[in-house]
Amino acid sequence: MNTVTKENPLYLEYLDIIKEMVSDLPNDKLKNNYTYDRLQVDEWIAISLFDGGFSSISWRPIWKNNCRILNRFYKIPSYRFENLKGRVSKETLDAITQQLKVASDLEFDCAFMSRETKTQAFHHYKRFLSQEWHTPKERYKMWNTGYQHIMWTSLSGNKLDMEKEDVCN
């Protein structure tokens, strides 16, 4: 596992490796989510790459001074389902650790992970992570009209400042 920022000379090489990796994905439920166009690499500020997959740190202006880690986390099928054994994979833990360090070095206030649906993965991850992670009940704005569940941790001592879903409408 190695994580590099956009400023690193390896960044473009990593993008090429990822483009190749997603060009011939197995025919499974994730295939359409991981086409190169749908990865939205223009929002990436860092890439974590390992033999069996990749992940990124992304940033959008609507997130203010917060970033999403484990963004577009992809593992080839032989690397998946470690958590079925009651664990979080080494690759996942390494990606989180490295991405939190990069996000802190880039002076973000908080880092978060997001999910469209079920949040039990967050509670599973928290058992294996040393940082203090928060899993609010509210969903937070991810794009213009879309909200997701998040798990976040402070990098600077500040609280998360992002737009929540208005459920009163």
DSSP 54-117: EEEEE--GGGTTEEEEEEEEEE-GGG--GGGGTS--HHHHHHHHHHHHHHHHTT-SEEEEEESS
pLDDT in tens, 101-123: 999 999 999 999 999 877 788 98
Kindly list the distances between the CA atom of residue 109 and the CA atoms of 145, 157, 161, in Å, as whole numbers in the listed order.
24, 7, 9
- CA end-to-end span of the chain: 44
Dihedral of CA 79/80/84/89: which sign? Answer: positive
Give the residue-averaged pLDDT of 56-74: 96
pLDDT at position 81: 59
Looking at residue 145, its amino acid is T
pLDDT in tens, 27-60: 767 778 888 989 999 999 999 999 889 999 999 9
pLDDT at position 100: 98
Residue 83 has pLDDT above 60, yes or no: no
User: Domains in the chain, please, with CATH?
Assistant: 2-154 (3.40.630.30)
